[in-house]
Every structure is written in structure tokens, then in C-alpha cells.
Amino acid sequence: MHYVSTRAAKATASQAPQQFSDILLGGLAPDGGLYLPAEYPQVSGAELDAWRKLSYADLAFEILKKFATDIPEADLKKLTKKTYTADVYRNVRKGEKSADITPLRILEQQGDKTLILQALSNGPTLAFKDMAMQLLGNLFEYTLAKDGAELNIFGATSGDTGSAAEYAMRGKKGIRVFMLSPHKKMSAFQSAQMFSLQDPNIFNIAVEGVFDDCQDLVKAVSNDLPFKARQKIGTVNSINWARVVAQVVYYFRGYLAATTENTQKVSFTVPSGNFGNICAGHIARMMGLPIDRLVAATNENDVLDEFFRTGVYRVRKSAETYHTSSPSMDISKASNFERFIYDLVGRDAERVRALFHKVDTEGGFDLSGKPGSDGDEFKLVSNYGFSSGKSTHKDRLDTIRDVADDFDITIDTHTADGIKVARQYMAPGVPMIVLETALAAKFNETILDALGVDAERPPGFDDIESLPQKFVVLPADVAQMQAYIAANTGL
């Protein structure tokens, strides 16, 4: 399996196809694009039938071996077995071990319309990011140990990626983590989960700005190729291909658990900000998984909903980005969106480069086909199964109350966005699976507002906000960020 950049010029020898291990530790390609397989591996009906009986770890191995063909299968199997265990992914609501890593729960059954919640928050930081990040930590350690190398991870988080990355990388030999987050824009629980880590290889940096400022800093540093090489910079943001492909696994798991035969289809609704989670669903669908719809659920920062309704991709400036009660989706420039656009425009890298140059210079592009637009590919979006919807603060409160009253489950704010939008797209005979984002305890301020009581906390998280916190506050300035990294790596 080889990988190509979404912006690769075919005549450029330095941008020849890469293997999985070649791109594992990095994020952006040298040309500023994102990596994708040269072609998507296909899954047969016979494979789907066989996979219905597998554990999550074994299913992960079967899927990942299609993408990581340069890692010996015996080693890859050990890595998935090490990662996806009942010790790591517990039934966190009860504090018990559970072999069912991503269980499904039927929420609503209206005739032949079914709404299902897929639990993805059983990992150590109570968010779906653990599903990929724990594997990434083990892959990084495995790869670095083979070469006796070091890696300085430089990433950005709007809330959950940071803690998932830090918990996955803490104590890993040869790895340091420099994690950016928007200063005072996360929930108190999210901030405490990250900033309370005292490990010497963890560096938390609160940036004066919004998440998009953090993300822009990561891209700017990654695009400074001499600095990136000298400081051994890698990334764990969702632009990292290994993270995306690890997320593909739970789409297969959800489908196989919700169906009994391969003629059946399901749909997925995914709370979406940076387009990484739902991009994994797109890849699963391209591999042949029988997905009917992929529904992107946004909050008030509705750049993705606007595109899937109109064909116009219009990023917002920092001042136009709302600080909402589903803060992990307070994103107005979706980094992984470029991967989908690459497929949408027929894998034309020159066109992708031109469109995203326009994003950088003019703030967006228009594929609606209307006079003066940048193209007419929007008409092809339906071929990929995408739909979208938007949820507001009031919608979140109402949905949290509904689900608590009807099903005795307290959901987090992002999952509430997903359920609200999913209800618009439920279809007869096609189960709608909503991907859970996090446990409600991570967003207690809004749960208290909605229900009048605190969200239940899993064992071990009772008093996390009172722990000592270690972080620095820096401006959104590339030079100062590079100076801070250099000062703390000694390279």
C-alpha cells in the first residue's frame, strides 16, 4: 500500500508514493497536502462475514493490515492486541472491565426507523479520541524503538485530542508532546485533564486565541521543513493518517454489530468540526462498507453544514468563530476536509492545490456551479452519501433533557448535537448510528444547566479540577512557538 499527497505534482520525484511507516510520524506532506492511499483497499462480502465473529482487536488488525503493509503482520497483531484490551477500554460509567470496546445501544425505535448510540468513550480520557490515540502511541513507540529515534509531537486541540494524545504518549520512550489549546476556551474538566499531567515529557501551551489559531500554528511549524527536521517534529492531530485509519475500525464494528447480513445498510451521524472522524467514515464507505448516509452534525460553527447544503466552503476568521457549549467543535477551518475534496474532484492534485490556495488567500471556494463559482463538483456530493445539519445551544439542552428523560442516559453536548441532527435523517429500514463523542462529565457546566444536577463522574475523576496544573500561556506567534519548542528539546 502506497500513499500520495492530495497536492502532489505528478512530475515531482521528491513526492514519490510513500509507505505507511514513512508517513506515520508526520502530518502534512512536504508540499502542504495530506496523505491518502493511492487507492482504497476493498473489502469483500466474505471478509465482512468472517469479521462478524472477531474481537475488536482482531478486527482492527484485519483492517489495518490493508493499510500498513510494510509492518510485519505478527508485529501489527501484537500492537492491536496490546491496544484494544478490557484494561484500557473499560465500561467507564461503571468502572468495570468490558470486552465490548464500542457497544451499541438502541435509543429509539419508531416503526422501522431505529436510532442507535455507539459508545466510543470507554478509553482513559473518556472521549472517542482514545480509540485512535492509544494505538498511535503504541505505533510511535514501536517505530521509534526500531531506529533508536526521538520524536517531538506538536499538536493542537479544541479539547479532547490533547488529553487523549498526552495520556497515550506519557512515559513513552523518546517522545515529547507539545500540545496547543485555546486559552480559557475548553471546559474546566478538559483543561484539568490536560494541565494536571506532571510528566516531564508533556508540555501544555495555552494559546491566546481560538482553536483555528492553534491549528494554523501547527501547520506553519510543519511547513517550516528545516525546523521540522531539526526538531524532529511529528503530529497526532487528525491530519495524521494513522489516526484517521484507526478510526475506520469502529465504523466497521458499528455496522457489523447493527446488522445480520451484508445486504443491509446503515447510516452514521457524526458530530463534526475538523472532519477527521467523519472522514474515517468516508474511507470505510469507499472500501465497500454498506453505508447509506454519512451525516455531519455541526454546532453554531457551521462551515461544514454550509458546504453540504450549498457547495460553498467558507472558513471563518477567529473573531467569527463562536465559543459554544460543544467547544470541541468550535472550529471554522476543517483540516481533514481536503481529503474528501481530493476524492470529490477526481483526485486532481493540481485542482486541490488551487482550491486550498484560495482558502488561504480568499477564505474559501465555491463548487456550487453557479455563475462565478470555482466549479460544479457539488452535484457529485450525493454520490458519496453526505448530508448535514446544525444544532444550537437550545437544541443541545433540549436533546440532553429528552435523552435523560426517555432513556435514563446523560449524554455530552457534542453527542447531543449528533442526536438532534440524526433525527432529521432517520429512514425506514436503515438503522441510524450516532457516534458518541465523550462522556457528559467532561462538560458538566452545560449538563448542570440542562438537568439541574451534576453529571455522574466515573471512578477516579472525582476531583480532577483541584489537582495542580502545569502549562504556559503564549501568543499565537510562530517564532515564539518555535523558540519554546527549541528551548525544551535541546535540539
* 144 burial via Cβ count (<10 Å: 0-12, 13-18, 19+): buried
Number of H helices, E strands in the chain: 18, 17
Give yes or no for a contact between 354 and 9, defined as CB atoms under 8 angstroms apart.
Answer: no
Those residues with Cβ within 8 angstroms of residue 331's Cβ, 6 or more apart along the chain or in another chain? 158, 211, 212, 215, 273, 274, 301, 303, 321
Please name the residues in contact with 146: beta carbons below 8 A apart, sequence gap of 6 or more: none
Question: At 119, which amino acid appears?
Answer: A
Q: What is the DSSP string of 85-145?
A: -TTTSEETTTTEE-S-SS-EEEEEEETTEEEEEE----STTSBTTHHHHHHHHHHHHHHHH
CA–CA separation, 465 and 468 (whole Å): 8
Phi then psi dihedrals of residue 347, to 5 deg: 55, 40
- Choose the catalytic residue: 66, 94, 113, 129: 129
Catalytic (active site) residue 129? yes
For the chain, what is the largest distance between any 2 Cα atoms, rounded to a whole number of angstroms? 63
- At 308, list the grid cell: 453540504
Of the candidates 126, 175, 172, the residue with the CA atom closest to the CA atom of residue 154: 175
Distance CA 226, CA 231 (A): 9
Catalytic positions, please? Answer: 129
